[in-house]
Structure 1
Amino acid sequence: MQQKPARPWADAARAAPLLVCGAIAGPLFVGVFLITGATRAGYDPLRHPVSSLALGDLGWTQVVTFVVTGALTVAFAFGLRRALRPLGGSIWGPVLVGIWGAGLIGAGVFVTDPISGYPPGTPDRLTQYGSAHAALHDGVSVLAFVALVAACFVFARRFAGWGSPLWAAYSAVTGIVFTGAFVLSSMGFEQTEGLVNLAGLFQRVSITAAWCWLSLLALHLLRRQEIGDRAGG
């Protein structure tokens, strides 16, 4: 008797819990910084970076958020690798998403320096790093941001090859928006005139755009997997 071939989506089915990790990481991260940023004394969400929420007595909430959402994103990267196999697979896309996740963990472990006058009583800009962990925070954060932008364009190319022009366009636009808003926020945190009081807003635009893309990507692949399971069943 001839053995029935395995369904193309059989291996990808095991990725479902990991894809769920990717779907919830973004809303969790954004929800925490919106709530804490709106309630923290002396903190201005339009002016101050998300990383500054890790400073002060209640800073542990943002530290935990960095670490937990970073771990969820690393798990999601493994799920991506499995879920994309029926489409032809991708190596660099999941790897870059994993670097983004690892960078978030690093950003939580290595706390940033004060900037733009937060916490209250600190200068707008330190002339040098106040500690080694602040320098490491910036280093891992930049690496994570670059990896995320690269992931957007890698997936834009892959989706175009998979015959998904809308997802290809959405991935590319996310990369462009993320990059532009990140550059403007960085200039504001460097105290560039006219951008200082909006630097936090620009950073939130970049971060929210990135998390929306990642969460929707996870949900998209979960949906494809569900359809594949039905077709195979």
Structure 2
Amino acid sequence: MTGSWLRNGDATTDAPLRLFCFPHAGGGGGFFRPWRALLPPQIEVCPVILPGREARIEETPYTRMTDLIDALCEGLAPYLVRPYALFGHSTGAAVAYEVARRFDGDPLRAPRRLLVSGRRAPHLAARRRAFADLNDAVFLQAVVQLGGIPEEVLRHRELVRMFLPGLRADFAVNETYRPAEGPPLTCPVAAFTGEQDPEVTPLEMSLWNRTTEGPFRMTVYEGNHFYLKDLPGPLRADLAAELDEDVRQAAA
């Protein structure tokens, strides 16, 4: 894959802390770009662009987590020499976790913190049927029911043709993902979830505490799987507070 994992100009400021953000299945970096104006300027929000969407729409998306993480970590490594944290939502939470595992313990590139949202702890088995092998019509209706795309989008066939391969690939990544055995992370982990999320219960979210030897914190918000859309005030304040220690240490 030759495309850039970041948009031109990202990860170039002198902000003390970079926050690399990984989207839900089928999502793009645009989901996180509004966060730049909402989080403190000491935090540079860096949305990650996966193959098969946005500026990389013509690239073949990955369908296996190991292949994705190998390429992603190689591409991001030059940007990880400055202090950074990772945020992932839904499938992106698993991606962020695997990036954290890859660099945890690296004296130059270890993450300061992992923030996960809207996904069951990685060691838990799936509790819903697989979507990746459904025919297109059934697959798209299932994603609509999850709240992943508005139903009216399905009327735009050319748009569907463009985003469907990346969406299917992301579901394949998620549904075939099995974390390898390994030690827990050493960095702090914070988990965030919507109380009415049909994909994960607060209890299942709380089991992310097993992924780290460091501090763990969980916060539950009113809302469904996309409780975080547009970065509502309570989540905005909690993210800023969660990252404040990392910002202060990085700026010292």
Task: Name the TM-score, length of structure 2 as normaliser.
Answer: 0.26
More strand as a share of residues? 2
Greater Rg over alpha carbons, structure: 1
Task: Name the TM-score, length of structure 1 as normaliser.
Answer: 0.27
